[in-house]
């Protein structure tokens, strides 16, 4: 294991997580007016509808699938499903979601680069972010044929154990990825890089999406009619 491998999979994850959390907090505290998705729908809505919906459906499924799939200890699901079967489910469902997300981000990237008005109103970070997401989804799809070569789930278990060691601050995480192919390693390194740039891009609006869950527990609003003074009277 060389020093670059040690840095990427032992140290770099903590740098990315620290910047992701602290950067998001600082941006919310100091620059709240930039905390938005900066939609370009007013400039052209056609491709945006298809691209945005496909991208969000695919990426949200992949995000939660990766989170629960990699951070759930093997002993919790072992009585119900084997590692090989879990890997097969992940390959099929992740492949479908990845394809949806890839088509969606390709539409969004083409729209942003080909429409002169949209491109002129785009920040450099907008275009760089779309290219990063495009490459990440392409690499994710490229891992599926490699995963099909070891359907026993052995590599999946190593990747999950790496993630669990990182979040629980246990050593030796990088050693688990020595035998992983370069596509797996590049996919993981690029995924961490997306977390690194997260606070400096429009991705921060993702936090607002999670914040809307607070509305579920929010008390009902009492509406009073100014003329009648009766709560809830619609007249």
What Å distances lie between residue 4 and 47, 174, 189, CA to CA?
A: 41, 10, 11
Q: Judge contact between 20 and 198, C-beta under 8 A.
A: yes
Q: How confident is residue 101, by pLDDT bands cut at 50, 70 and 90? A: very high
Cβ contacts of 62 within 8 Å, gap of 6 or more: 94, 97, 98, 101, 140
Domains located in the chain, CATH noted:
44-188 (1.20.950.20)
Tell me the mean pLDDT in the region 163-171. 94
Q: How confident is residue 42, by pLDDT bands cut at 50, 70 and 90? A: very low
pLDDT at position 17: 96
Q: pLDDT above 70 covers what percent of the chain?
A: 88
Checking if the pLDDT of 45 tops 70, the result is no
Q: How confident is residue 202, by pLDDT bands cut at 50, 70 and 90? A: confident
What Å distances lie between residue 18 and 11, 62, 193, 222, CA to CA?
A: 11, 22, 12, 41
Query: HEC profile for 169-210?
Result: CCCCCHHHHCCCCHHHHHHHHHHHHHHHHHHHCHHHHHHHHH
Q: How confident is residue 16, by pLDDT bands cut at 50, 70 and 90? A: very high
Q: Which residues are annotated as a binding site?
A: 56, 66, 187, 205
Q: Judge contact between 194 and 16, C-beta under 8 A.
A: no
Residue appearing with tokens 């072992």:
78
Q: Judge contact between 140 and 95, C-beta under 8 A.
A: no
Q: Which residues are annotated as a binding site for heme b?
A: 56, 66, 187, 205
Dihedral of CA atoms 122, 13, 10, 128 in degrees, nearest 10, equals: -10
pLDDT at position 235: 47
More confident call, 121 vs 201: 201
**What is the rounded distance in angstroms from the CA atom of residue 188 to the CA atom of residue 205?**
23
Tell me the mean pLDDT in the region 128-154. 93
What letter does residue 32 receive in the DSSP assignment? G
> In 3D, which of 12, 13, 34 has the Cα closest to residue 200?
34
With 0-12 CB in 10 A as exposed, 13-18 as middle and 19+ as buried, what is 134?
Answer: middle
What Å distances lie between residue 222 and 50, 131, 132, 176, 228, CA to CA?
A: 38, 47, 46, 57, 14
Count of beta carbons in the 10 Å neighbourhood of residue 208: 12
> In 3D, which of 69, 145, 140, 64 has the Cα closest to residue 102?
140
């Amino acid at each position: 294991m060389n020093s670059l491998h040690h840095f990427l999979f032992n140290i770099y994850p903590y740098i990315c997580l620290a910047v992701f959390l602290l950067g998001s907090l600082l941006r919310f505290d100091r620059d709240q007016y930039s905390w938005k998705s900066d939609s370009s729908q007013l400039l052209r809505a056609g491709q945006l509808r298809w691209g945005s919906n496909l991208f969000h459906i695919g990426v949200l499924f992949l995000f939660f699938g990766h989170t629960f799939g990699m951070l759930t200890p093997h002993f919790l699901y072992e009585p119900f499903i084997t590692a090989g079967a879990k890997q097969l489910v992940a390959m099929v469902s992740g492949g479908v979601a990845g394809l949806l997300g890839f088509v969606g981000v390709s539409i969004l990237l083409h729209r942003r680069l080909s429409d002169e008005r949209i491109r002129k109103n785009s920040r450099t970070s907008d275009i760089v972010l779309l290219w990063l997401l495009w490459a990440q989804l392409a690499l994710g799809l490229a891992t599926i044929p490699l995963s099909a070569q070891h359907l026993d789930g052995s590599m999946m278990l190593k990747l999950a154990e790496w993630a669990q060691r990182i979040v629980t601050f246990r050593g030796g995480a990088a050693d688990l990825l020595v035998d992983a192919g370069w596509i797996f390693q590049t996919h993981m390194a690029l995924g961490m890089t997306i977390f690194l740039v997260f606070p400096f891009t429009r991705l921060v609006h993702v936090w607002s999406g999670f914040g809307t869950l607070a509305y579920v527990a929010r008390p009902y609003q009492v509406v009073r009619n100014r003329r009648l003074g009766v709560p809830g009277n619609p007249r």
